[in-house]
Amino acid sequence: MILSGPTSNSFMSQRLRLHYVDWGNPDAPPLILQHGGRDHCRSWDWVAQELRHDWHVIAADLRGHGDSAWSPDGDYTMNAYVYDFAQLVHTLGYREVTIVAHSLGGNIATRFTGLYPDKVRKLANIEGLGPSPTILAERDEAGYAARLREWIDNKRAAAGRMPRRYPTLKAAYERMKEENAYLTDEQARHLTIHGVARNEDGTWSWKFDNYLNVWPVDYTPQSDIDSLWHAITCPMLLFYGQDSFATNPEKDGRIRHFSTARVIEYENAGHWLHHDQFERFMDDLRAFL
């Protein structure tokens, strides 16, 4: 399938110039596609191409990702991301939006929906509820001070690490295929082309900020996150892959915090199930929307 591309745009948030693409059809209802960590907005191109005739599709690059600016102080905290998302909706002047979001983007969009339940018509969340209860318990057992010290050490190490350079686009493509064996050659090529930038010496590096390899310490108490989840009033569809590291909220108990959510689990799919099982995903997504 040949993809016809969107137009590039930007908006300002906390003095950062952040990038998004617009797939046209401005008179249709707005649909925001939000990618996950170390990804980029063009990873939604196949989804956008399918939905652009019925929706005004917007796909945004998170700060430090894709063609958005890197944070000068390395601020990639959840609150910063949520503010950016709220600023995108505010800047575009939408009274109500529908959201499809993946992983980190799903975590951001879910918190936004709990903060502003009247602004979200529907939310499709692909493995985006954050760490499982088991992982959270392990972190709590380690203690806040130990986690913060580890974060400082990792952040300092990241500051001295140069982004990996690939001699050719093919080498970057092969790394993409290695990361997700479910990807077709076409998918991996498309994701690579839009995910890398050329360096002055002719090599290629991923566009995302190296600091994103250090996951931030989330200062939000789980009880506050739970309260945001409870505040959501719109229909939610949660997608999970059986072969993913993420745990199904129906099995780990988190589903009890959502009054309007249901879960679909895909066999033969990992964390990027919207790529791994694209046709099935689109059927389920269309039915939900």
pLDDT in tens, the chain (289 residues): 555 689 999 999 999 999 999 999 999 999 999 999 999 999 999 999 999 999 999 999 999 999 999 999 999 999 999 999 999 999 999 999 999 999 999 999 999 999 999 999 999 999 999 999 999 999 899 998 999 999 999 999 999 999 999 999 999 999 999 999 999 999 999 999 999 999 999 999 999 999 999 988 888 999 999 999 999 999 999 999 999 999 999 999 999 999 999 999 999 999 999 999 999 999 999 999 9
C-alpha closest to that of 222 among 123, 105, 130, 124: 130
Output the pTM of the full model.
Answer: 0.97
**Torsion, Cα of 54, 4, 97, 239 (10° steps):** 90
C-alpha closest to that of 171 among 219, 205, 200: 205
- Tell me which amino acid residue 54 is: D
Q: Are 26 and 56 in contact (CB under 8 A)?
A: yes
CA–CA separation, 49 vs 153, rounded Å? 43
CA–CA separation, 115 vs 232, rounded Å? 8
Provide the token pair at 218: 């989330």
CA–CA separation, 263 vs 269, rounded Å? 15
Alpha-helical runs (H) found in the chain: 45-51, 78-92, 104-115, 133-142, 144-159, 169-179, 185-195, 222-230, 249-252, 273-276, 278-288
